Amino acid sequence: MPLRDNDEPIRRRGVRFQRRPAPEMPRATVSSCRTRYIIDGHLRPTPEHVSVADALKFAEAAPHRMALSLFPAPTPQDVDELAEAWELHPLLLEDLLHAGQRPKLERYGDVLFMVVRSARYNDAAEGVDFSEFHVVVRPHAIAVLCQDQRWIDGTDEETMSGDPSDLADRDGRTLLDDEFLLALGPEAVAYRLLDAIVDGYIPVLRGLAIDKEQIERQVFSGDAAVAERIYRLSQEVIDLQHTTTSMADVLADLRQGFDRQEVPEPLQAYLQDVADHLTHASSRVSELRDALSQILGVNSTLVAQRQNEDMKKISGWAAILFAPTLIGAIYGMNFENMPELHWALGYPAAVGAMLALAVVLYIVFKTKKWM
């Protein structure tokens, strides 16, 4: 990876996600770092408990070497060790110590820093779990920090804390299973990570689409609880849209640096394919958001329609009860000069009039489908 001149201002650090704050870094003193050596695109045996500095020395000792440092549960001590060994910029060190950021890309001299977010659909909670990764790339070396202590597929830190070689083979296969790309340098590992993250958006969209279909049926069944479910699903889709939009900005920034950074043609084509997949995912996210907005509008219309039908029934029964009440009120005034008070059939006639008016009104309202 050629050296880069720091000839453009450092971009402002990304806005923090507020909805799902990442957990604080653990205070454990035991490092979670897992290291793999790559020579000419081929994996090589790695000593146990190798330090970040030793891995960097190995990678820089000869051409076509590379070291991958994976931190399943990065601690402040891990970050400090990485910053010291790689001589990282203080602003970059600050970012590495704080999670909960939007996807972004920044360059500090010959060091590339990316924040990326993967997504995994949680069927039980009908929600999306996001995992944040900080990726630091420099000539001959790359470090990946799992800020949420999960891998892309949701594997948690405890599961990832097995045998070091086992771990790298299991959780590193996404990054290290293409020898042709690995021979092109540490950028290839970063691109493989981006590819795996973008591919992970498709199952999430599939799960959200199934929820949308269920909500559509629920809307027309008249379930009063569907509005809350629509709002919850809309929030998940909005979060995913924010992530895909920010990831698109990251890919665009990478593509803009192709010529200046002398990125090999195969990597350029590979990243373009990743960008195409992300564009497809972003389009589906936008379609989902529009569909949910339409569903919410339809639900509001159906609720208003049902309320209107209820008001018709209430108004009809009020009118039916009003007619007998009016007759009873007239003959309950107790004036002396009321001829009907002395009729022998006055009471049956009044009751009959009440019933007749009630029946007539009921028939009228029933005919107009108000009842």
What pLDDT, in 10s, does the model give residues 255-313?
Answer: 888 777 778 888 889 999 999 999 999 999 999 999 988 888 887 777 776 767 777 77
Taking 50 as the threshold, does the pLDDT of residue 20 lie above it? no
Token look-up 């990326």 returns 116
Structure tokens that stand for 262 in this block: 């002398």
Q: How far apart are CA 23 and CA 268, in angstroms?
A: 35
Structure tokens that stand for 59 in this block: 């990678």
Torsion-angle region of 47 (φ positive above 0: left; ψ -120 to 50: alpha; else: beta): beta
User: Which of residues 6 and 233 earns the better pLDDT score?
Assistant: 233
Residue 182's closest CA among 353, 173, 307? Answer: 173
- Write the CA distances from 141 to 35, 97, 134, 366, integer angstroms: 10, 20, 14, 80
User: Which of residues 80 and 155 earns the better pLDDT score?
Assistant: 80
Number of H helices, E strands in the chain: 11, 7
- Residue 58 near residue 140 (C-beta atoms within 8 A): no
Mean pLDDT of the region 135-155? 89
Calculated CA dihedral for residues 199, 201, 205, 211, nearest 10 degrees: 130
**CA Rg, the chain, in Å?**
34
Pairing mode, if any, of strands 65-71 and 141-146?
A: parallel
- DSSP readout, 217-279? HHHHTT-TTHHHHHHHHHHHHHHHHHHHHHHHHHHHHHHHTHHHHT--HHHHHHHHHHHHHHH
Token look-up 């309950």 returns 332
- DSSP readout, 94-135? HHHT---B--EEEEETTEEEEEEEEEEEETTTTEEEEEEEEE
69: amino acid identity, one letter: S
Give the model confidence (pLDDT) of 184-211 as tens digits: 889 989 999 999 999 999 999 999 999 9
Mean pLDDT of the region 114-124? 91
Mean pLDDT of the region 224-235? 85
Q: Is the dihedral of CA 195, 200, 202, 208 positive or negative?
A: negative
Taking 60 as the threshold, does the pLDDT of residue 112 lie above it? yes
Min mean pLDDT across 2-16, 43-57, 168-182 is at 2-16
- Residue 186 near residue 142 (C-beta atoms within 8 A): yes
Give the pLDDT of residue 29: 53
Residue 85: which residues within 8 A CB-CB, separation 6 or more?
Answer: 51, 52, 53, 56
The pTM for the full model equals 0.74
Q: How far is CA 143 from the centre of its chain?
A: 25
